[in-house]
Amino acid sequence: MTCRYCGESAGWWRRNCASCRRLLAAFEENRGADFQSMMQIFRATGVAMETIEKFLEADPRGDGSVRDQIAADMTNDLMRALGNDTRQTAADVKRIRERGNWVNLDRRPTE
């Protein structure tokens, strides 16, 4: 089978390749970490940067990429800190981003 995240061969009995399974485990263990910390965690797994990038942009269920989920988690933490209990999902982030109103909270500002 083909890996649902990076598109590499995952072996016939697997839906995700070994690299993406490692990234997914690291992601689940560290939900709520900000984007920069998450990138450090991903790099620490030893997975190639190219694969990490594909993993971030992958949207295997169609409800938001890993990048969107990280952004949603960050937004929810911020909202909670401000006393707002409205939950944003990765799908919400995806919708906002696709409308073009997304302010790139998860990226470094460009100089």
**Would you count residue 6 as binding Zn ion (CB under 5 A)?**
yes
Tell me how many degrees the CA angle 28-29-33 measures, rounded to the nearest 5: 90
Residue 5 lies near Zn ion (rule: CB under 5 A)? yes
The answer to whether 26 and 42 have CB atoms below 8 angstroms apart is: yes
CB 51 to Zn ion: min, Å: 6
Q: How many helices (H) and strands (E) does the chain have?
A: 5, 0
47 binds Zn ion (CB under 5 A): no
Q: Crossing angle of helices 49-57/18-29, nearest 10°?
A: 70
Binding mask 7-46 for Zn ion (x = CB under 5 A): ----------x--x--------------------------
Query: Which parts of this chain interact with Zn ion (CB under 5 A)?
Result: 3, 5-6, 17, 20
